Amino acid sequence: MSSQLKTYLTPEEYLAIERKAEYKSEYVNGEMFGMAGASVRHVLIVTNLVVSLGGQLRGRPCAVYSADLRVRVSPTGLYTYPDVIVVCGQAQLADDQKDTLLNPTLIIEVLSDSTKDYDRGGKFQHYRTFASLMGYVLVSQETCHVERFVRQPENRWLLSETDDVKDTMHLSSIECELVLAEVYDKVDLSA
């Protein structure tokens, strides 16, 4: 029986590899995990979210970013690429490369079959350690369903959800409206 030693990377080693890589990878506990490509539905929902929120945030001190901006969860050491990030106020960046964000106000993840359990569980556990994070939204790409978590006093999180495409959810952390008809515009949910 052969036993292979696992090689662990430091965050600095991960960043050196990641900044040269053709594909994105998450990093946690010394290990890199390649990220799968996204489906047409996934990409369209992310685009719809960025367009909708970007329009509402125009002229305000908040900015919306899509999946190519890396986030470091400093308290836990996770490096990841959320689907949509909103930062209110000055973006805090990890180093002079200016490619790793430290202070998201709102994070939105579009769920896929392979990531939905992690996005709801382990990843959200990491995200909750951000002092800056006030809201977390999960959007299904399989059916019309949105879950919104809002930070409450004493670091509690309040969940509300809807599966009605005619609904609008208020995102109090950024004072925007999430109109489900816009989120799912042109998204084929049949099959």
Secondary structure of residue 51 in the 3-state scheme: helix
Q: Which helix (H) or strand (E) holds 85?
A: strand 84-88
Q: Which of 138, 70, 76 is nearest to 104 (CA)?
A: 70
pLDDT tens for residues 134-182?
999 999 999 999 999 999 999 899 999 999 999 999 999 999 999 999 9
Query: Check: CATH 1.10.287.80 for 39-183?
Result: no
Which helix (H) or strand (E) segment holds residue 41: the answer is helix 40-57
Report the chain's mean pLDDT, rounded to a whole number.
Answer: 92
Q: Model-level pTM greater than 0.75?
A: yes
pLDDT tens digits, one per residue of 56-83: 999 999 999 998 899 999 888 899 999 9
What does the block give as tokens for 37? 């490509």
